[in-house]
Amino acid sequence: MVWTSDQCYLAGLDHFTSCVHALGPDDWDRPTPCARWTARDVLGHVGGGTRFGTQLLTGQPPTMPPTEQPGSTVEGDPVAWWDALVGPSRAAIDGVDLAKVVDSPMGPRSIADGLRFPAVDLFIHGWDIVRSTGRSVEIPGKVIDFARDAFAEFSDAAMRNPRVFGPTREADAAANPSDAFLAWTGRDPNWALPAS
Protein backbone atom coordinates (compact mmCIF):
# COMPACT_ATOMS: atom_id res chain seq x y z
CA MET A 1 0.00 0.00 0.00
CA VAL A 2 1.31 3.47 -0.93
CA TRP A 3 2.11 5.78 1.97
CA THR A 4 -0.03 8.82 2.77
CA SER A 5 1.69 12.22 2.70
CA ASP A 6 2.05 12.39 6.48
CA GLN A 7 3.54 8.89 6.66
CA CYS A 8 6.11 9.75 4.01
CA TYR A 9 6.89 13.08 5.64
CA LEU A 10 7.46 11.59 9.10
CA ALA A 11 9.65 8.85 7.61
CA GLY A 12 11.48 11.59 5.70
CA LEU A 13 12.20 13.47 8.92
CA ASP A 14 13.75 10.29 10.35
CA HIS A 15 15.76 9.67 7.17
CA PHE A 16 17.08 13.20 6.88
CA THR A 17 17.94 13.28 10.59
CA SER A 18 20.03 10.11 10.23
CA CYS A 19 21.80 11.68 7.24
CA VAL A 20 22.50 14.89 9.17
CA HIS A 21 23.98 12.85 12.02
CA ALA A 22 26.22 10.99 9.53
CA LEU A 23 28.17 14.19 8.78
CA GLY A 24 31.06 15.37 10.90
CA PRO A 25 31.89 18.95 11.90
CA ASP A 26 34.27 19.36 8.95
CA ASP A 27 31.80 18.07 6.33
CA TRP A 28 29.34 20.96 6.18
CA ASP A 29 31.30 23.10 3.72
CA ARG A 30 31.74 20.30 1.20
CA PRO A 31 30.16 20.68 -2.26
CA THR A 32 27.06 18.62 -3.00
CA PRO A 33 25.25 17.38 -6.12
CA CYS A 34 23.11 20.56 -5.81
CA ALA A 35 24.96 23.07 -7.99
CA ARG A 36 26.64 25.88 -6.01
CA TRP A 37 25.35 24.53 -2.68
CA THR A 38 27.41 23.10 0.15
CA ALA A 39 26.06 20.55 2.60
CA ARG A 40 25.32 23.50 4.92
CA ASP A 41 23.27 25.17 2.14
CA VAL A 42 21.27 21.98 1.59
CA LEU A 43 20.65 21.77 5.33
CA GLY A 44 19.57 25.42 5.45
CA HIS A 45 17.22 24.86 2.51
CA VAL A 46 15.61 21.79 4.07
CA GLY A 47 15.49 23.35 7.53
CA GLY A 48 13.92 26.54 6.18
CA GLY A 49 11.28 24.55 4.34
CA THR A 50 10.62 22.45 7.44
CA ARG A 51 10.21 25.56 9.62
CA PHE A 52 7.94 27.12 6.97
CA GLY A 53 5.72 24.02 6.95
CA THR A 54 5.55 23.93 10.74
CA GLN A 55 4.53 27.60 10.84
CA LEU A 56 1.87 27.01 8.19
CA LEU A 57 0.42 23.98 10.02
CA THR A 58 0.34 25.69 13.40
CA GLY A 59 -1.29 28.91 12.18
CA GLN A 60 1.79 31.11 12.58
CA PRO A 61 2.73 33.62 9.85
CA PRO A 62 5.14 31.60 7.69
CA THR A 63 8.59 32.98 6.88
CA MET A 64 9.79 32.14 3.39
CA PRO A 65 13.29 30.61 3.50
CA PRO A 66 15.98 32.27 1.36
CA THR A 67 16.79 30.67 -1.99
CA GLU A 68 20.29 32.15 -2.22
CA GLN A 69 22.91 30.89 0.25
CA PRO A 70 20.43 29.11 2.53
CA GLY A 71 23.36 27.88 4.62
CA SER A 72 23.58 31.36 6.14
CA THR A 73 20.45 30.56 8.16
CA VAL A 74 22.10 27.62 9.95
CA GLU A 75 23.11 28.89 13.38
CA GLY A 76 25.75 27.20 15.55
CA ASP A 77 26.19 23.46 15.33
CA PRO A 78 24.37 22.20 12.19
CA VAL A 79 23.26 18.95 13.84
CA ALA A 80 21.81 20.72 16.89
CA TRP A 81 20.18 23.33 14.63
CA TRP A 82 18.39 20.62 12.64
CA ASP A 83 17.45 18.57 15.70
CA ALA A 84 15.71 21.63 17.20
CA LEU A 85 13.43 21.81 14.13
CA VAL A 86 12.38 18.17 14.05
CA GLY A 87 10.32 18.01 17.27
CA PRO A 88 8.02 20.93 16.40
CA SER A 89 7.62 19.58 12.86
CA ARG A 90 6.59 16.15 14.13
CA ALA A 91 4.16 17.72 16.61
CA ALA A 92 2.58 19.82 13.84
CA ILE A 93 1.94 16.71 11.73
CA ASP A 94 0.64 14.52 14.56
CA GLY A 95 -3.10 14.10 14.11
CA VAL A 96 -3.32 16.76 11.39
CA ASP A 97 -6.41 16.80 9.15
CA LEU A 98 -4.84 16.00 5.76
CA ALA A 99 -7.97 17.24 3.96
CA LYS A 100 -7.80 20.69 5.56
CA VAL A 101 -7.15 23.45 3.01
CA VAL A 102 -4.53 26.05 3.91
CA ASP A 103 -3.05 29.02 2.08
CA SER A 104 0.35 28.22 0.63
CA PRO A 105 2.81 29.93 -1.73
CA MET A 106 1.12 27.91 -4.50
CA GLY A 107 -2.37 28.99 -3.49
CA PRO A 108 -4.99 27.17 -1.41
CA ARG A 109 -4.28 23.44 -1.19
CA SER A 110 -4.94 20.54 1.11
CA ILE A 111 -2.32 19.65 3.69
CA ALA A 112 -1.98 16.24 2.02
CA ASP A 113 -1.10 17.90 -1.29
CA GLY A 114 1.19 20.41 0.36
CA LEU A 115 3.21 17.69 2.11
CA ARG A 116 3.90 15.64 -1.02
CA PHE A 117 6.96 17.44 -2.32
CA PRO A 118 8.55 18.28 1.07
CA ALA A 119 8.20 14.62 2.07
CA VAL A 120 10.13 13.40 -0.97
CA ASP A 121 12.57 16.30 -0.71
CA LEU A 122 13.72 15.05 2.71
CA PHE A 123 14.91 11.79 1.17
CA ILE A 124 16.51 13.31 -1.91
CA HIS A 125 18.36 15.99 0.04
CA GLY A 126 19.44 13.39 2.59
CA TRP A 127 21.16 11.63 -0.29
CA ASP A 128 22.70 14.95 -1.37
CA ILE A 129 24.37 15.68 1.95
CA VAL A 130 25.63 12.14 2.49
CA ARG A 131 26.92 12.04 -1.09
CA SER A 132 29.00 15.15 -0.30
CA THR A 133 31.11 12.91 1.96
CA GLY A 134 31.70 10.35 -0.81
CA ARG A 135 29.19 7.90 0.66
CA SER A 136 25.66 7.10 -0.44
CA VAL A 137 22.27 6.17 0.99
CA GLU A 138 19.44 4.44 -0.83
CA ILE A 139 16.05 5.97 -1.44
CA PRO A 140 13.61 3.38 -0.04
CA GLY A 141 11.19 1.69 -2.42
CA LYS A 142 8.17 3.03 -0.50
CA VAL A 143 9.37 6.58 -1.17
CA ILE A 144 9.81 5.88 -4.87
CA ASP A 145 6.27 4.42 -5.04
CA PHE A 146 4.90 7.42 -3.14
CA ALA A 147 6.67 9.91 -5.43
CA ARG A 148 5.53 8.23 -8.64
CA ASP A 149 1.94 8.23 -7.36
CA ALA A 150 2.06 11.76 -5.90
CA PHE A 151 3.56 13.41 -8.97
CA ALA A 152 1.71 11.44 -11.67
CA GLU A 153 -0.75 14.28 -12.28
CA PHE A 154 1.96 16.87 -13.02
CA SER A 155 3.19 17.59 -16.52
CA ASP A 156 6.87 17.27 -17.30
CA ALA A 157 7.01 21.04 -17.78
CA ALA A 158 5.65 21.59 -14.26
CA MET A 159 8.17 19.14 -12.76
CA ARG A 160 11.30 20.15 -14.68
CA ASN A 161 12.32 23.59 -13.48
CA PRO A 162 14.90 24.97 -11.02
CA ARG A 163 12.40 24.94 -8.14
CA VAL A 164 11.49 21.26 -8.52
CA PHE A 165 13.59 18.75 -10.49
CA GLY A 166 16.21 19.04 -13.20
CA PRO A 167 15.92 17.29 -16.57
CA THR A 168 15.69 13.51 -16.33
CA ARG A 169 19.03 11.78 -16.69
CA GLU A 170 19.57 8.43 -18.35
CA ALA A 171 20.17 5.82 -15.65
CA ASP A 172 22.68 3.04 -16.18
CA ALA A 173 21.10 -0.15 -17.49
CA ALA A 174 22.16 -1.92 -14.30
CA ALA A 175 21.00 0.90 -11.97
CA ASN A 176 19.17 -0.15 -8.84
CA PRO A 177 15.73 1.42 -8.19
CA SER A 178 17.23 4.11 -5.94
CA ASP A 179 19.76 5.23 -8.56
CA ALA A 180 17.13 5.12 -11.31
CA PHE A 181 14.86 7.33 -9.18
CA LEU A 182 17.66 9.80 -8.49
CA ALA A 183 18.32 10.00 -12.24
CA TRP A 184 14.59 10.68 -12.73
CA THR A 185 14.91 13.64 -10.34
CA GLY A 186 17.74 15.02 -12.51
CA ARG A 187 20.60 13.90 -10.28
CA ASP A 188 23.68 11.97 -11.32
CA PRO A 189 23.62 8.86 -9.09
CA ASN A 190 27.37 8.53 -9.69
CA TRP A 191 28.15 12.12 -8.69
CA ALA A 192 31.54 12.40 -7.02
CA LEU A 193 33.36 15.16 -5.18
CA PRO A 194 35.34 17.40 -7.54
CA ALA A 195 39.03 16.49 -7.68
CA SER A 196 41.03 18.80 -5.43
User: SS3 of 161, please?
Assistant: coil
Between CA 183 and CA 170 the distance in angstroms is 6
Residue type, 113: D
Between CA 43 and CA 81 the distance in angstroms is 9
Between CA 58 and CA 18 the distance in angstroms is 25
Between CA 136 and CA 139 the distance in angstroms is 10
* CATH number attached to the domain at 5-184: 1.20.120.450
User: Among 61-65, 77-81, 144-148, 156-160, which is the least confidently predicted range?
Assistant: 156-160
How many Cβ atoms sit within 10 Å of the Cβ of residue 13?
A: 21
pLDDT digits (tens, 9 = 90+) for 16-59: 999 999 999 999 999 999 989 999 999 999 999 999 888 888 87
pLDDT digits (tens, 9 = 90+) for 96-118: 888 988 877 777 888 888 888 89
Q: Which pLDDT band holds residue 196 (cuts at 50, 70, 90)?
A: low
What's the chain's average pLDDT?
A: 90
Q: What is the pTM of this model?
A: 0.92
The domain segmentation of the chain, as residue ranges, is: 5-184
Between CA 90 and CA 69 the distance in angstroms is 26
Which one-letter DSSP state was computed for residue 165?
B
